[in-house]
Amino acid sequence: MLRPFGWYDERVMSEWTAETADWYAAHYGEYATNRLAVDAIYVAPDAFVVDVGCGTGSALRRLAPRVPKGRLVGVDPVPRMLAIARERASTDPNGHRIEFAEAPAERLPLEDGVADLVLAFDSIDHWSDLDAGLREVARVLRPGGRLVVVKDGGLPGGARAERAWRAALGRSGLAVQHEAALAEGDVACTLWVCGAA
Ligand SMILES: C[S@@+](CC[C@H](N)C(=O)[O-])C[C@H]1O[C@@H](n2cnc3c(N)ncnc32)[C@H](O)[C@@H]1O
């Protein structure tokens, strides 16, 4: 059964199971948004990067060569998704440097103020509580750290969803600093770089 979200009217596949994880990995596991977004952002070589709702770990595997001295942590609450992520990391030249943890955005297993960069690629609309997830992101970001949110095709729900999303960000003490539209072939996404308001 799909859960309502409250911050916009669209509903997404929010009940993730082993079956939906396998389906997602087979169809979208290396989806182009991960590559487009990672290639569009700056990351320091020693950055502490956390990918919330990391799925198969595609974004972190793409990012890893650019963060040779940093720490890379993928967080996802679905055990089967993490098993797939670990499996794909095991055949990647930098995969051994990626740590994975089973947890939802709403309870990040990290200390306060440790992360330079938090990624949430096609993930925020799957969180069960957007405000709680954003509070957690704000908690784990170090001063000056950034949250990068990506949404394939932009936010469903139009201007109202956009207002709700920015309002939720504001409640967590964050604000959009930069917005970009990325596209390649028939894949298009919106990227928001967020930092302290
Ligand atoms: C559409 S997939 C995106 C995966 C990956 N970021 C990508 O872009 O390929 C959404 C992901 O959010 C995860 N997810 C579901 N509920 C979540 C929650 N409460 N907190 C964090 N991630 C969640 C799912 O397990 C899934 O891996």
In a domain, 4, yes or no: no
Distances, alpha carbon 133 to alpha carbons 22, 136, 193, in Å: 24, 5, 16
State if residue 105 touches ligand 1 by the CB under 6 angstroms criterion.
Answer: yes
State if residue 52 touches ligand 1 by the CB under 6 angstroms criterion.
Answer: yes
- How would you list the strands of the sheet with 174-184, edge to edge? 98-102, 71-76, 48-52, 115-121, 141-152, 187-196, 174-184
Nearest CA to ligand 1 atom 15: 126
Instruction: Give the distance (Å) from ligand 1 centre to CA of residue 55.
Output: 5
pLDDT in tens, 137-193: 999 999 999 999 999 988 877 888 889 899 999 999 999 999 999 999 999 999 999
pTM: 0.94
Task: Give the pLDDT band (50/70/90) at residue 12.
Answer: low
In a domain, 38, yes or no: yes
Nearest CA to ligand 1 atom 13: 53
Encoding tokens for residue 144? 């000056």
In a domain, 186, yes or no: yes
Task: Give the pLDDT band (50/70/90) at residue 29.
Answer: very high
Q: For residue 98, what are the contacts with CB-CB under 8 A and spacing of at least 6?
A: 57, 60, 61, 64, 72, 73, 74, 85, 89, 92
In a domain, 68, yes or no: yes
In a domain, 93, yes or no: yes
Mean residue pLDDT of the chain comes to 92
Instruction: Give the distance (Å) from ligand 1 centre to CA of residue 27.
Output: 14
Q: For residue 79, what are the contacts with CB-CB under 8 A and spacing of at least 6?
A: 18, 102
Choice from 123, 129, 140 to test ligand 1 binding pocket (greatest atom count within 8 A of CB): 123
In a domain, 2, yes or no: no
CATH code for the domain in which residue 160 is found: 3.40.50.150
60-64 contacts, C-beta under 8 A, 24 or more apart: 60/89, 60/98, 60/119, 61/88, 61/89, 61/92, 61/94, 61/95, 61/98, 62/34, 62/35, 62/38, 63/38, 64/92, 64/94, 64/95, 64/97, 64/98
Choice from 62, 126, 128, 140 to test ligand 1 binding pocket (greatest atom count within 8 A of CB): 126
Task: Give the pLDDT band (50/70/90) at residue 52.
Answer: very high
Report how far residue 13's alpha carbon sits from residue 166's, in angstroms, rounded to the nearest whole number.
Answer: 22
In a domain, 107, yes or no: yes
For the chain, what is the domain count?
A: 1
Which domain range does residue 38 map to? 18-196
In a domain, 188, yes or no: yes
Q: Are 60 and 27 in contact (CB under 8 A)?
A: no
Nearest CA to ligand 1 atom 25: 78
Nearest CA to ligand 1 atom 23: 53
State if residue 121 touches ligand 1 by the CB under 6 angstroms criterion.
Answer: yes
**pLDDT of the residue at 13:** 54
